[in-house]
Amino acid sequence: METIRDKSFEEIYNHILGEVQRGSVDRKHPFHLCFLSTINNSTGFPDSRTVVLRKVDRDGFVLRVHTDVRSEKIKHIKFCCNTHLLFYNQKAKLQVRLSSIGEEVQDEELKKEVWSQAQDISQRCYYVPHSPSTEIDTPFLNSEIDTTDQTLGYNVFSILEFKVFELDVLELNYEGHLRANLKVNDGKLEKSVWLMP
């Protein structure tokens, strides 16, 4: 089993970059899903939720996620861009925690391009008539979706980007757990230390 014990910090960083990037392109990779945490400005508490990792720009270490513009997480990020992404690969016993600065993409051309490439089943999520978190009288049914509604679909589709500035990497290991903290600036490794796990 591959371990980060014998790797240099640069190698660890590249390994994590590679794994996260694989997560964005391989639906079966454990990093395809991650847990995004934001600061809820109404309660002051952090909020976490599962999201699909859609794209990774390795050069600047920027992660991309799709969401509904009406969702709470967007409000949180607009209030406070400090965000956190958590990954776990059970087989590799590898936890990756990413501290990031989140923002909503404003580039309409990019949004149009990404929307046009999305599968029908993914696009359908954006035709739900109520905003996420709206209180409803009865549980939602897909039959309520009207994919011809011109006010929905693309109009509520949103792209979030997260620029990573710190990684906390923990690998569980029989000989001793390994934990490294890596600070990055614009995708370049700046400072690295081993930490007690």
Ligand X SMILES: Cc1cc2nc3c(=O)[nH]c(=O)nc-3n(C[C@H](O)[C@H](O)[C@H](O)COP(=O)(O)O)c2cc1C
Instruction: Report the interface residues with ligand X, using CB under 6 A.
Output: 33, 47, 49-52, 65-68, 71-73, 132-133
**Shortest CB 14 distance to ligand X, Å:** 26
**Shortest CB 102 distance to ligand X, Å:** 12
Structure tokens at 5: 């014990």
Contact predicate 192/181, CB 8 Å: yes
**Shortest CB 7 distance to ligand X, Å:** 31
Considering beta carbons, is residue 49 or 93 the nearer one to ligand X? 49
Could you give the CA distance from residue 143 to residue 129 in angstroms, rounded to a whole number?
Answer: 11
Considering beta carbons, is residue 46 or 197 the nearer one to ligand X? 46
**Shortest CB 167 distance to ligand X, Å:** 21
Considering beta carbons, is residue 51 or 172 the nearer one to ligand X? 51
Q: Which of 3, 36, 32 is nearest to 19 (CA)?
A: 32
Considering beta carbons, is residue 12 or 77 the nearer one to ligand X? 77
Could you give the CA distance from residue 166 to residue 13 in angstroms, rounded to a whole number?
Answer: 11
Q: Tell me if residue 156 falls in helix, strand or coil.
A: helix
Burial class, 89, CB count within 10 angstroms (exposed 0-12 / middle 13-18 / buried 19+):
middle
